[in-house]
Amino acid sequence: MAQQLLDYPAMRMSALVLGVLVALPWPLHGLFTQGASLALAAALIAYGLMPYVIAFAHRIGALDVPDARRVHAVVTPRIGGLAVIIAVNITLFLNFNYSLELKGVCLSALIVGALSFWDDVRELSASIKLLGQMIALLVLMACGVHIDVGFHGWWGNGLEYLITALWIIGITNAFNFLDGINGLAASLATTTCLLMGLLAWHTGQTYMLFLCLALAGGAIGFLPDNARYNTPARSFLGDVGSTYLGWLMAAVAVMGDWSSDGAIKAYAAPILIFSVMIFDMIHTTIARIGRGDVRSLRAWIEYVGRDHLHHRLMALGFSQSQAVILIVGFSCMMGLSALALVKGTIFGVWLLLSQAVLFYIILSVLMARAASR
């Protein structure tokens, strides 16, 4: 088993050491050079750590056993996201000056990641998981990370905190829901982070660009052990990885300043980038309520079904890899619209938003057709 888990151990160890060396704060110049070094460092560290995380998962029994609700057919370690968390935090710690906002983002994500790690190992109730996410939200907001809706007074602040809570918890769980087939969650996280990085560059936020590239690198380093279609995946992200990445991406979206031309552009851009996750969560929630499968918030959190976007695409005849490519393609299409939106006219903004709505209506029809099969 050791040889199976540590295939080419010298190469993995070399990648880990090289990743830490690349992560050191070298005096580099140029956006491309600095950004590429951060992404490469996080990717190499995550890739180098994976065999040891896999071995650790076997040792503590953090294994995903196949059943009728799952796509995979063999027992698989489910805490691969631990390598991503370590890689991202090493890269950030060595290269970033932590503002109060970034401290809140990173600390709250670690709280959620630690809680989800325990859930992967021992399983926690939905109420405990929700309580942990609320504590992480308090930490995030206490550090000044919240959506600014421009209203004044206590009710304005209350509205900002409410919208922030709905966004962060909603995106975190929406991303977790999409972690259902090999390579999908990490590929979607990579795509989302790269799109947000391009948006940050497009809006002159160099700091946010580097942060997004570091997150993308961590997800990329996980893919070789998960995005496997001819052989079983060596590991899954697990809740520890999917909730951590989902939380970080949602919080970074709140932390950034995506347009100075008005609230519509500022909020429409990240909504478009995250729209695939948002659509899947809304569509499956409405369908489950309509079928009577979900009757409470606890049931919504705990429900595990095969009715997500990737399941529907596979029901239409697409393979796992094809479903991943299609969903990543959907995300890229919406993300490119977001890039065009922030520099466009208000009329152009409404056209792009209308295009997105039309696209998701068509996708809903396709999902309904798949459900009827």
Distances 85 to 19, 216, 240, 244 between C-alpha atoms, Å: 14, 12, 9, 7
Give percent of the chain above pLDDT 90.
64
364-368 CB contacts, 8 Å cutoff, 24+ apart: 364/283, 366/312, 366/316, 367/283, 367/309, 367/312
Per-residue confidence at 2, pLDDT binned at 50, 70, 90?
Answer: very low
Mean pLDDT across 69-89:
85
pLDDT of residue 72: 54
The more confidently predicted of residues 151 and 209 is 209
DSSP annotation string for 53-101: HHHHHHHHT-EE---TT-S--S-EE--THHHHHHHHHHHHHHH----HH
Per-residue confidence at 190, pLDDT binned at 50, 70, 90?
Answer: very high
Per-residue confidence at 32, pLDDT binned at 50, 70, 90?
Answer: confident
Q: Is the distance from CB of 182 to CB of 228 less than 8 angstroms?
A: yes
Looking at the predicted structure, is the pLDDT value of residue 71 above 70? no
Q: List the end-to-end C-alpha distance of the chain, in Å, as a whole number.
A: 41
* Tokens describing residue 25: 């704060």
pLDDT of residue 28: 81
The more confidently predicted of residues 146 and 43 is 43
Q: Is the distance from CB of 259 to CB of 342 less than 8 angstroms?
A: yes
- The gap from C-alpha 253 to its chain's centroid, in whole angstroms, comes to 11
* Tokens describing residue 321: 């890899």
- pTM score, two decimals? 0.92
Per-residue confidence at 135, pLDDT binned at 50, 70, 90?
Answer: very high
The more confidently predicted of residues 7 and 236 is 236
The three-class DSSP label of residue 294 is: coil
Per-residue confidence at 36, pLDDT binned at 50, 70, 90?
Answer: very high
Looking at the predicted structure, is the pLDDT value of residue 252 above 90? yes
On average, the pLDDT of the chain sits at 89
Q: List, for residues 333-347, the tens digit of each pLDDT value.
A: 999 999 998 888 888
Looking at the predicted structure, is the pLDDT value of residue 87 above 70? yes
Q: List, for residues 4-27, the tens digit of each pLDDT value.
A: 445 667 889 999 999 999 999 988
Looking at the predicted structure, is the pLDDT value of residue 35 above 70? yes
Looking at the predicted structure, is the pLDDT value of residue 246 above 90? yes
Q: What are phi and psi of 102, to 5 degrees?
A: -65, -35
DSSP annotation string for 178-204: TTTSTTHHHHHHHHHHHHHHHHHHHTT
